[in-house]
Amino acid sequence: MRTQTLSVVVFRLAFTLIALAGLTPQAHAESALLAKVRDGDDVKVVLLGTSLTDNGTWPASLQTWLTSESPGPGTVTVVNRAAGGEASDHGLAVQTPAALLDNPDCVFIEFSMNDAATSKNITLQQSEDNLNAMIDAFVAQNPDVIIVLQTMNNLPPDTSPFSPRVNLNGYYQIYRDVAAARGAILIDHYPNWLDLYTNDLATWQSYMEDAVHPNPLGQDQVLFPELQAVLGPPAAPPSVSDTLIFQDDFDGAGGSPLDGTTPDVTQGSTVWVADAEYEADGSALINTENPSRRAYLTLGNLIDDNRGNADALYTLSATINVPPGTTGIWEAIGFWNNDTPLENFGTGGGELGGQPRGTAWMLRRDNAQIRVFRGVGLGGTLTESTASPNNVAGTLDFKVVLDLTDWNGTDNWGSVTYSAKLSTDSTFTEIAAGELDAANSTFRAVGLGGGTVGAQVSSFELTKLSLAPPELADFSYDGTTGNAEVRIIGAANTRYKLVRADDLDFATPDQDPLPLTGATVGGLDGGGVITDPGGNATVQFNLGTGASAFIRAEEQP
């Protein structure tokens, strides 16, 4: 396939927040292993070691993580050859010959814990000799093999009924020295465990199964984060600059009106305009005489002036608890197209038959169903989703994401994505997404709306997100078939939209872009592709044999 460069206009926004827990490991450059995985090659990793590997949960975590980092089409395979209770003599005589049959691209080795056991009678010199012999065997088979040496956890003075390890760190030092001498990757877990043992013994004990073997929680919180950090951080995401437009935690007093209060963060002098049913602590009272209530913040030109700009990306989010089993209508968040919204999202003959005054709304019913709608004058076109985990009672986090980057004022009015999650979950589930297809869509206010359902709103936030274009790499084009491929390196779990451009300048994209279709990984939606947790996606598409009509390509040297 003839390789050329390509300019592709790429933009979209992230709507998943990933929370990391545990110790903060030291950051390292991308390792050879992670680079090979991210190149999409077939990668086989073999693990040698003791029960700390044989019975550990971290090998499965390694498999999952490396697989997620691969853009395809290659596969990642992790083979665990470790054996509980064994030391480096077994590693050399039994585990290494078996592993050579796997023809690995990468080998993890850890035997210090059992080499240090007095019952094994393995001296420091023997431990070093065995380690070098194992490395020699793999290098002889594959000079490019990647060797990863690990020190593991510390031990308390008394590890009954296990054999004493009187010089454990001395055996660990062998691995540090050999790694430095032979250019192997070293993952030195020992300092982290020792620091935890010294400064937070209770937590250390909660992470240990039997004073020797870390339990799954300990591996997740201490061992695996260090392993990930050493092998390399995720691919650098595009730079993001968030501008907080409105934010409120509703920390006012119950019984006091929300109306007229100032959000924790507000642009200018904008204050809440709210019906009496909304109180300053975010509670929404039941009032059957006023079934359509609203609370809103006016936007002025905060959004209207940014249509079509590359950074016109907005996230509206809220945390809402609608009690189950009550009788009523909705509690919702969204955008209005009116400076002074008259009611929750407009009736004009009923929610299903009238002319909704909202532009993009996400509504949760008291029976735990979620509905969304978009655009104005659509006759109440509603899309309902009852898919798990959203058709459940409890406190939910909502996001309405507005993308106006490709607004052209003629036939494209931007798009909206709706997501939700239980507040106890870590990731959002997309409920629906689509184009804003009403010519008079405007964005004059944001806020809350509801019916006779009593609810509690604990947070509300509108953010403008500036997302720089991701890196594009490895573009290839076959002029005979028209088949092309490009790799995206961007933010993790992010949907990007790819369009053909009429030049090589990101600043002046084609005013009528043609979406690309087809992808080897991720899910396509309207020409978009979702990156994996490593921020990578490989997209295959067909430009046709007349590709020069759409792009200007240059031969790479």
Closest CA to 362 of 371, 350, 351, 354: 371
pLDDT recorded at residue 327: 55
pTM of the entire predicted model = 0.48
Walking along the chain (557 residues) 10 residues at a time, the average pLDDT comes out as 30 21 39 86 94 94 89 88 95 97 96 94 96 96 95 87 88 95 93 91 89 91 90 57 85 89 89 89 73 83 71 84 65 80 51 54 74 60 51 76 73 77 75 68 82 78 73 69 72 60 35 38 48 72 52 29
pLDDT recorded at residue 387: 52
Spatial distance between the Cα atoms of 143 and 306, rounded to a whole number of angstroms: 55
Q: Which residues pair with 221 in a beta bridge?
A: none
pLDDT recorded at residue 147: 95
Cα 464 off chain centre by? 19
pLDDT recorded at residue 311: 65
- Residue 359 has which token pair? 């532009």
Cα 416 off chain centre by? 19
Closest CA to 438 of 324, 357, 365, 529: 357
Contacts by residues 284-290 (CB-CB < 8 Å, ≥ 24 positions apart): 284/331, 284/448, 284/450, 284/453, 284/454, 284/455, 284/456, 284/457, 285/454, 286/326, 286/328, 286/452, 286/453, 286/454, 287/452, 288/452
Spatial distance between the Cα atoms of 119 and 404, rounded to a whole number of angstroms: 68
Question: CB count, 10 Å around CB of 304?
Answer: 12
Pair 122, 115: CB distance under 8 Å: yes
